[in-house]
Amino acid sequence: MTDKNLPTKQRGERVPYKWIVLSNTTLGIFMALLDSSIVMISLPDIFRGIRLDPLAPANFAYLLWMLMGYGLVAAILVVTLGRIGDIFGRVRMYNLGFAIFSLASVGLSLTWSTGPAGAMEIIGFRMVQAIGGAMLMANSTAILTDVFPAEQRGMALGTNLIAGLAGSFMGLMLGGVLAAINWRMVFLVNVPIGAFGTFWAYWKLRDTGERHRARIDWLGNVTFALGLGLLLTGVTYGIQPYGGHNTGWTSPMVLGMIGAGALALAAFVAIELRAPEPMFDLSLFRIRAFAAGNLAVLLSAIANGGMQFMFIMWLQGIWLPLHGYTFEQTPLFAGIFMVPLTIGFMVSGPLFGRLSDRYGARPFTTGGMVLAAITFALLMTLPANFSYPLFAALLFTDGVAFGMFGAPNTAAIMNSVPARNRGAASGMRATAQMMGQPLSMGIFFSLMVVGLTATVPQAMFGGLTAHHVPQQIAGALSHMPPTGYLFAAFLGYNPLKMLLGPVLTALPRVDAAVLVGKSFFPKLISSPFTTGLHEVLTFSVIMCLIAAGASWMRGGKFVHAEARKAHGHEPAAELEEA
**In the chain, where the domains are located:** 1-214, 217-278, 453-525
Is the CB of residue 147 less than 8 Å from the CB of residue 9?
no
- With cut-offs at 50, 70 and 90, classify the pLDDT of residue 40: confident
Q: What are phi and psi of 232, to 5 degrees?
A: -70, -35
Q: 245 - beta bridge partners?
A: 242
Q: Above pLDDT 70, what percent of the chain? A: 91
Phi, psi of 244 (to 5 degrees): -95, 10
The mean per-residue pLDDT over the stretch 189-215 comes to 79
Q: Which residues of 241-260 are buried (b: 16+ CB within 10 A; e: fewer)?
A: bbeeebbbbebeebeebbee
Please report the DSSP string for 366-399 in residue order.
HHHHHHHHHHHHHHTTS-SS--HHHHHHHHHHHH
How confident is the model at residue 415, as a pLDDT?
Answer: 84
Tell me how far apart the alpha carbons of residues 372 and 553 are, in angstroms, rounded to a whole number.
Answer: 18
Which pTM does this prediction carry? 0.81
**Tens digits of per-residue pLDDT, 62-101?**
877 887 788 888 888 887 887 788 787 888 888 899 899 9
* Residues 375, 380, 381: CA angle, nearest 5 degrees: 100
CB count within 10 Å of CB 507 equals 18
Fold assignment, 1-214: Growth Hormone; Chain: A; (1.20.1250)
pLDDT tens per residue across span 87-143: 878 888 888 998 999 899 999 989 989 889 999 999 999 999 989 988 888 888 888
Is 332 or 200 the better-scoring residue by pLDDT?
200
pLDDT of residue 15: 64
CA 457 distance to own-chain centroid = 32
Tell me what pLDDT residue 212 has.
Answer: 59
Q: Please report the pLDDT score of residue 120 as a whole number.
A: 93
- 3-class state of residue 475 by DSSP: helix
Where residue 456 falls among pLDDT bands split at 50, 70, 90?
Answer: confident
Residue 270 has φ and ψ, to the nearest 5°, of: -65, -40
Q: 281-321 pLDDT, tens per residue? A: 788 888 888 999 999 999 999 998 888 888 988 998 889 98
Q: What is the pLDDT of residues 472-481, one digit of tens each?
A: 888 888 887 7
- Distance between CA atoms of residues 115 and 132, nearest Å: 26
